[in-house]
Structure 1
Amino acid sequence: MGVLPCRRLGPVLVGASLLALAASAVAAKTSWRKVTETDLHFIHDTLREAHPGYIDQSAAGEAFRAWLETGLGDSLKLAQRVRSRGEFEAVLRFYGSGFRDGHLGVGTNAGVTQSAWWTTGWLVAWRNGEYVVSQHLPGNKANLPPIGSRVLRCDGLTPAKRLEREVAPFFDRRVELESVASGEAQFLTLNSRTLLPWRKPTKHCVLALPTNEIRSYRLQWRRLEAMADEAGQSVKRPSMGVVDLGEGRFWVHASNFWLKGKDIEDYQAMLARLPGLREARLVVFDLRGNEGGDGGLGMALLNALLEPGYVQYYLDRSGYSRAYAEYRVSSIALTVFAEQYLARAKSLDGESGDGYLEIVRQRDRMRDALAQGKEWLIQWDNGAQPARESPEPLGSKPQLAILTHSRCASACLDFVDYAKALPGMVHLGRPTSADTVFMERGIAQLPSGLGSLYFPFKVWRNRPRGNNQPYLPDELFSGDIDDTAAVQTWVLEQMAAREGAAKAVAETSR
């Protein structure tokens, strides 16, 4: 598909007072269809103006351009049915999810009230590829399937196929990812007429009971009287820090790379302690709870533990020396640097900090590139991350392991990239999430004032990890990944077995 010239957009970031006025104006309107159509066209035009996929000639760029146009048409057809705010939000999410990119979507300003939830009286969780009855909700006297029963079919479709058809188009269509499958599983027996306004209630489900008996259940939908613990829960995030497990074994909770408040102090304390662990027997980086943030924070942790140059040496050997990133040049990208990124860097480092000064440099480079009419701006001046001259390090290093959960994405995945390039690194836990090659994120407020579009404006070239490709662990943990005690016991057993096997090999080779 060819790339068409596009009109320049005006400023996309507005103050809170203007947003409030816009929201009030929308609330007074009766034509939700018109509001929806206006926001859809804004999303389309903003992405055409600023998203790298619109001019990128890779397969990822081709897929982006295809949905940009096809998805707009499909969404405008759906907009003809919009009569409420819930339906308005559903259509915007429908358009955003079609790009199959965790860095692109629409965030809205309204939550879903408890009265808007409907349930069958029992909840479902995704566990190791199966949909399992996980909880009975209070106040339900209907005949409920026993806890642990496996859902086989609902109205003639497998649970995965039903969720793919009815739920994924309005949230995340990457149903092949464990993070998406597990997050959307609850909607098999949970519904919201605000989030999924046109969904028809499921009538029957066939389940395999814990006794292996196959039984059919007629679903009785009713308003949810009390929100269950599992319904809509956010990811659990352990506090950051280093834990001494004894016998030279250390557990590093690297649970967040999007720092604010106390997280900044916790991270700095953790960073300061890592050089003292270079002679440790085992160091485990626990990434549970980490959904991304600043990728430089992960590299800093590894450099602190393993000495500067060690990580870069092995990254170069693994092919990452060929990887580089380019920004799509646009007035929108310049605004992101000048307002969003600078404000965050100032809050973290102050105006004299290295992070702040780097954003100033990138802002100025983006301004110059825009004035010169360039399409692309290489993130680093030489076209790739500067390689450090580093001979292969000598001496013993600790046994190293990383532990991931299914929501590890963005900067968390960057950390896994770096870690897996190191010799002897063991990957444990659950499969990660995945990223497209389009990265970093800017925010543009919608004309309606009822939410914002978030979108990437940078593309990776020659990245060894593929587009939307997750990492699979060397060893899978089949229990509750949020149970720290159980996870630590399992990890220590896995690493002890590997340590013993390595010693046995060393003995036989003498």
Structure 2
Amino acid sequence: MIRALAASAALLALTAAAAPAVAQDWRALAAQDLAAAREELKANHPAAVVPGPGDAFRAWVDAGHDLIAAELGRVRGARDYYYVLQGYAGGFRDNNIRLNPSYEPLPAWFAAGTPNFATAWRDGGYVVSWVKPGVRGLPPLGARVVSCDDTPVEQLAQSRLDRWEGNLQLESERVRTAPYLLWDRDNSFSPGLPRQCRFQVGRGQRNFVLTTAFTSEEDRRAAWSASVFTPATPLSVETVDGRSWIRVHTLEPNADWRGFYATVEAQRAALQGPAGLVIDLRGASGLDAEAARRGYGLANRLWTVDFTAPRQPEAGSIVYRATPGNRDWYARALARMEADPLFVSESMPVIEQTRAIVAAFDAAIAAGQASFTLPGRPAVTDSGAANPVQGRVVVLIDGGCTGGCLDVLDLLTNLPNVTLAGAPTGADSIFIEATDLRLPSNYGDLSYGHKAWATRERGHNVPYTPQATYSGNPADEAAVRAWVSSLFAG
């Protein structure tokens, strides 16, 4: 592998942050945590007892461990420890199974070296999206990668990116990982960087020699921003081309939700008006349990609870794997609820429901059952409330809409006059409600869904596909705005 002349300062900082583990320990730590993750998942993950959606889990849980364990001799330090976790988690094809270092992560645009340009996933291929100013001999903007060292670009992407950086079975992950195609990400498990690549340039093809070198963080960040949509403002309400544009580029708890909701309430009459409305959910990832609730808070303020509640997707049947580990998760949650006087006074139905789940675990385990099924939240009766939103609503999405954002779309797509526009979202599995564990080394965390929403209307690992697809540059905000405005004119 062609390596950069020196590791970046960020990588050195990562290794230092992971002290006191010394370099030669990372291989043993990776082996220990890889084995622990496998045993936890085999012992408690519900995919083991759910046919169909659980097939990929059962095929990978042992085979994936053994495949990566056989290559642990490649581990050189903290960065390879990271890729051991990523490579194993990625093979499950389940975005709700996550293995991540517990120490501070590197930024998305990290690279130990680059060829002074970046690629993006556009129109089904890898195209040059950024070139370093003043450097000669680089492919031009818009050039499409054909092959590298006589290896077709798709084969190269599969070997360098799939599982290690993302799930290339998903369009959204193609977009997110595209800048890394020809970057040195300091992954000892991926093939070496190519020496030259062939590009489609206009009507012809040209070869370009790749020279990998250290690139400043400023350049890498610029390259990333030119390749993948990167929102600048988490939450806002603006007026664009005469209509309201609500930006919800995050569902994380640290955003100013109180101020945002207050703005929505103050402008509610205009937002509900006949001119139409844009709800921009690009990049709105949210992985904590309350992420969807924050998105629902916006919907309820626009459409009212009486109108949205009966249009929420039914919970249907929930499958629980009957293991002591899963039972203990609910028992601990119940103990916390019962020890909180405020929770007892305000949320007794939740406590009663959790008590019933613990009792069902006890009965199933005593009977030797592998699993049991309970009904989910019942559907809400439609009160006949009128739709207060008069105009057309365009919901703008992209591959950054993941986690709780998908739950919000489950509701919004059931509302009238709503059009999904943009690019395909991310996907998540039917295995939900996270168990979070620290791995034995203390340098990694495992998260997985411990129950199965067996009858969910949205399929297992199925993204939302827009009804109106944007094929332009997602980093060109002016072009995106013009395109969205054209949807209202049509």
Q: Please give the TM-score of this superposition, normalised by the length of structure 2.
A: 0.81
- Against the structure 1 CA distance between its residues 264 and 451, is the aligned structure 2 distance closer, same or farther, given a 3 Å change threshold? farther
**Alpha-carbon distance, 1:148 to partner:** 2.0
Q: Contact 1:275–1:306 at 8 Å: present in 2 too? A: no
Q: Contact 2:85–2:100 at 8 Å: present in 1 too? A: no
- Against the structure 1 CA distance between its residues 303 and 341, is the aligned structure 2 distance closer, same or farther, given a 3 Å change threshold? farther
Deviations 1:450-496 (A, max 9, x none): 12112122321222222221222121122333444433332222112
Within the candidate set 244, 249, 254, 1:255 is matched to 249
Deviations 1:293-346 (A, max 9, x none): 42223333223222333334445xxxx4473444545565567668899999x9
Q: Contact 1:90–1:170 at 8 Å: present in 2 too? A: yes
CA distance, structure 2, for counterparts of residue 245 and residue 116 of structure 1: 36
Taking the TM superposition and a 5 Å limit, the aligned residue runs for 1:62-101 are 62-101=55-94
Deviations 1:269-310 (A, max 9, x none): 435654664344312211122013422233332232223333
Query: Match for residue 496 of structure 1?
Result: 489
Query: Match for residue 297 of structure 2?
Result: 300
- Against the structure 1 CA distance between its residues 213 and 451, is the aligned structure 2 distance closer, same or farther, given a 3 Å change threshold? same
AA partner of residue 212 (structure 1):
R
AA partner of residue 298 (structure 1):
G
Query: Match for residue 217 of structure 1?
Result: 208
- Against the structure 1 CA distance between its residues 422 and 101, is the aligned structure 2 distance closer, same or farther, given a 3 Å change threshold? same
Q: Alignment partner of 1:443: what SS?
A: strand
Query: Match for residue 448 of structure 1?
Result: 441
Deviations 1:391-430 (A, max 9, x none): 3747873222211112212221122222222233211111
Within the candidate set 415, 434, 437, 2:430 is matched to 437
**Alpha-carbon distance, 1:377 to partner:** 7.3
Q: Contact 1:237–1:289 at 8 Å: present in 2 too? A: no
Q: Alignment partner of 1:34: what SS?
A: helix
- Against the structure 1 CA distance between its residues 242 and 236, is the aligned structure 2 distance closer, same or farther, given a 3 Å change threshold? closer
**Alpha-carbon distance, 1:33 to partner:** 3.5
Q: Alignment partner of 2:408: what SS?
A: helix
Deviations 1:224-251 (A, max 9, x none): 345422455684253323324475x322
1:133 correspondence with 2:128: yes
1:309 correspondence with 2:303: no
CA distance, structure 1, for counterparts of residue 480 and residue 127 of structure 2: 21
**Alpha-carbon distance, 1:67 to partner:** 0.8
Q: Alignment partner of 1:124: what SS?
A: strand
- Against the structure 1 CA distance between its residues 112 and 301, is the aligned structure 2 distance closer, same or farther, given a 3 Å change threshold? closer
Query: Match for residue 379 of structure 2?
Result: 386
Q: Alignment partner of 2:473: what SS?
A: coil
- Against the structure 1 CA distance between its residues 169 and 424, is the aligned structure 2 distance closer, same or farther, given a 3 Å change threshold? same
Query: Match for residue 117 of structure 1?
Result: 112
CA distance, structure 2, for counterparts of residue 74 and residue 282 of structure 1: 53
Query: Match for residue 179 of structure 2?
Result: 186
Q: Contact 2:160–2:190 at 8 Å: present in 1 too? A: no
- Against the structure 1 CA distance between its residues 363 and 448, is the aligned structure 2 distance closer, same or farther, given a 3 Å change threshold? farther
Percent identical across equivalent pairs? Answer: 26
Q: Alignment partner of 1:441: what SS?
A: strand
- Against the structure 1 CA distance between its residues 224 and 59, is the aligned structure 2 distance closer, same or farther, given a 3 Å change threshold? same
Q: Please give the TM-score of this superposition, normalised by the length of structure 1.
A: 0.78
**Alpha-carbon distance, 1:73 to partner:** 1.5
Q: Contact 1:115–1:224 at 8 Å: present in 2 too? A: no
Taking the TM superposition and a 5 Å limit, the aligned residue runs for 1:171-210 are 171-172=165-166, 174-193=167-186, 195-209=187-201
CA distance, structure 2, for counterparts of residue 29 and residue 251 of structure 1: 50
**Alpha-carbon distance, 1:187 to partner:** 1.9
- Against the structure 1 CA distance between its residues 121 and 254, is the aligned structure 2 distance closer, same or farther, given a 3 Å change threshold? closer
CA distance, structure 2, for counterparts of residue 189 and residue 198 of structure 1: 11
CA distance, structure 1, for counterparts of residue 351 and residue 84 of structure 2: 37
CA distance, structure 2, for counterparts of residue 265 and residue 49 of structure 1: 44
- Against the structure 1 CA distance between its residues 274 and 324, is the aligned structure 2 distance closer, same or farther, given a 3 Å change threshold? farther
AA partner of residue 44 (structure 2):
A
Q: Contact 1:159–1:188 at 8 Å: present in 2 too? A: no
CA distance, structure 1, for counterparts of residue 334 and residue 37 of structure 2: 21
Q: Contact 1:271–1:301 at 8 Å: present in 2 too? A: no
CA distance, structure 2, for counterparts of residue 32 and residue 394 of structure 1: 58
Q: Contact 1:23–1:449 at 8 Å: present in 2 too? A: no
Q: Contact 2:331–2:358 at 8 Å: present in 1 too? A: no
- Against the structure 1 CA distance between its residues 148 and 339, is the aligned structure 2 distance closer, same or farther, given a 3 Å change threshold? farther
Q: Contact 1:342–1:359 at 8 Å: present in 2 too? A: no
AA partner of residue 458 (structure 1):
K
CA distance, structure 2, for counterparts of residue 202 and residue 144 of structure 1: 15
1:162 correspondence with 2:136: no
CA distance, structure 2, for counterparts of residue 256 and residue 328 of structure 1: 32
1:151 correspondence with 2:145: yes
AA partner of residue 297 (structure 1):
R
**Alpha-carbon distance, 1:98 to partner:** 0.2
Q: Contact 2:68–2:87 at 8 Å: present in 1 too? A: yes
Query: Match for residue 236 of structure 1?
Result: 231
Within the candidate set 466, 471, 475, 1:473 is matched to 466
Query: What is the number of residues matched between the two proteins?
Result: 460
- Against the structure 1 CA distance between its residues 301 and 335, is the aligned structure 2 distance closer, same or farther, given a 3 Å change threshold? farther
CA distance, structure 1, for counterparts of residue 215 and residue 347 of structure 2: 47
Moved more, 107-116 or 251-260: 107-116
Query: Match for residue 455 of structure 2?
Result: 462
CA distance, structure 2, for counterparts of residue 398 and residue 354 of structure 1: 41
Q: Alignment partner of 2:446: what SS?
A: strand
CA distance, structure 1, for counterparts of residue 185 and residue 392 of structure 2: 47
CA distance, structure 2, for counterparts of residue 191 and residue 343 of structure 1: 46
Q: Contact 1:429–1:476 at 8 Å: present in 2 too? A: yes
Deviations 1:13-55 (A, max 9, x none): xxxxxxxxx9656x15835433222111110111123322122
**Alpha-carbon distance, 1:384 to partner:** 3.5
- Against the structure 1 CA distance between its residues 455 and 491, is the aligned structure 2 distance closer, same or farther, given a 3 Å change threshold? same
1:287 correspondence with 2:281: yes
Query: Match for residue 104 of structure 1?
Result: 97
Q: Contact 1:438–1:460 at 8 Å: present in 2 too? A: yes
CA distance, structure 1, for counterparts of residue 447 and residue 361 of structure 2: 21
- Against the structure 1 CA distance between its residues 342 and 297, is the aligned structure 2 distance closer, same or farther, given a 3 Å change threshold? farther
Q: Contact 2:277–2:392 at 8 Å: present in 1 too? A: yes
**Alpha-carbon distance, 1:99 to partner:** 0.6
Deviations 1:140-195 (A, max 9, x none): 45x211222111111223323211122213122x31322211222112221122x3
5+ residue gaps, structure 2: 1-16
